[in-house]
Amino acid sequence: HELYSTWTETDLQALKNNIRCLRDITGVRVMAVVKANGYGHGAIPMARSAIEGGAAWLGVARIEEALELRYAKIQEPILLLGYTPLQRFREAIENGISLTVWDKVQVDAAEKTASSLGKVGLLHLKVDTGMNRLGVKSEEALEMAAFIRSKPNLLFEGIFTHFARADEADRYFADTQEKSFTRVVESLEKENLLPPWVHACNSAGALACPGAAFNMVRAGISIYGLHPSPQCPLPDGFQPVLSWKSVISAIKYVEPGQGVSYGHIYVCTKREKVGTVPVGYADGFRRVSGNEVLVAGKRAPVIGRVCMDQLMISLDHIPEANTGDEVVLLGKQGEDQITAEEIAARWGTINYEVTCGIGARVPRLPF
């Protein structure tokens, strides 16, 4: 790219395709989860494309993320999945953003705020069936649902839970959670308290047991074409959305015995062709050993320490490499491909953290 040192490219058609794949598999509505800047892909273009691909809802973690979508003129339903400070309920309700609640203090605050605004507050009740993070205990869900329903200025819009272990080969715990949540849903139904939206599955849950889909699934990782886990790979048809690229900014020939980068942990044993690439750990490219990138469709090892804004690569085996050539950190080039999963294994983490960690100063270019 002529304008940038490093950038990501996001394939909007791939995202729409992935939403369609999920809808086909589950047969229910999809909430596209675009929190954390769309898992690092760029929240606004991902949200717009998800809607175009058939997503009915958008999910975010924080009020700032929800407001960013509203300010971008995105009108679709948005659920704030996590914690919202009570002082910010007003902004959520003013902007028609649905809030997640799990205790009476939140419900009272929402009622008071909605009443003062002359608006209706939209609430989803979170039920904790075993994640032990957020949510009302299963046995208290019925009472909480009745409490929400008793408030004149609140609309009890949804109820949901979250699976802790849906991405494992062993389905036992996910099945236990599903049964627990199903009992809650049935008890609400019996009391005529069931809200219109009932959702439990994340990507892994939706792929592993589409029968547990109720009437909506919340999909994050899979819509970006990334595997929920090694034990829960995506089926054929899903496509990765993101590529991360840079360029060769300089090439030099380093003499034997000379060191490269800070601390000279890499020392050339022969005269070596070394390329400099303007991307570093401040951009989210980790300062660990064993990194590789693609140049001219071939793998080039990163040598020496990754710097804040730059890294060096060995180009001895790529005689055709030149300054200005494209470097692929994540994605396809020629016949080869470096996946987020491969990078995650190298960094001792998961694919989610690889894309979420791409720095804010790296421009996201949708196409």
Q: Which residues contact 3 (CB under 8 A, 6 or more apart)?
A: none
Q: Is 262 tagged catalytic?
A: yes
Beta bridge partners of 125: 101, 159
Q: Which residues contact 210 (CB under 8 A, 6 or more apart)?
A: 25, 26, 27, 201
Which tokens sit at 40? 């690092």
Q: Is 224 tagged catalytic?
A: no
CA distance 319 to 273: 9
Between β-strands 298-303 and 311-314, what pairing exists: parallel, antiparallel or unpaired? antiparallel
In which residue are the tokens 């899979």 written? Answer: 222
Which one of the listed residues 35, 126, 151, 245 is annotated catalytic? Answer: 35
CB 250 within 8 A of CB 283: no
What is the SS3 string spanning the chain?
Answer: CCCCCEEEEECHHHHHHHHHHHHHHHCCEEEEECHHHHHCCCHHHHHHHHHHCCCCEEEECCHHHHHHHHHCCCCCCEEECCCCCHHHHHHHHHCCCEEEECCHHHHHHHHHHHHHHCCCEEEEEEEECCCCCCCEEHHHHHHHHHHHHCCCCEEEEEEECCCCCCCCCCCHHHHHHHHHHHHHHHHHHHCCCCCCEEECCCHHHHHHCHHHCCCEEEECHHHHCCCCECCECCCCCCCCCEEEEEECCEEEEECCCCEECHHHCEECCCCEEEEEECCCHHHCCCCCCCCEEEECCEEEEEECCCCCCCEEEECCCCCCCCCCCEEEEEEEECCEEECHHHHHHHHCCCHHHHHHCCCCCCCEEEC
Which one of the listed residues 71, 252, 253, 262 is annotated catalytic? Answer: 262
Q: Active-site positions?
A: 35, 262
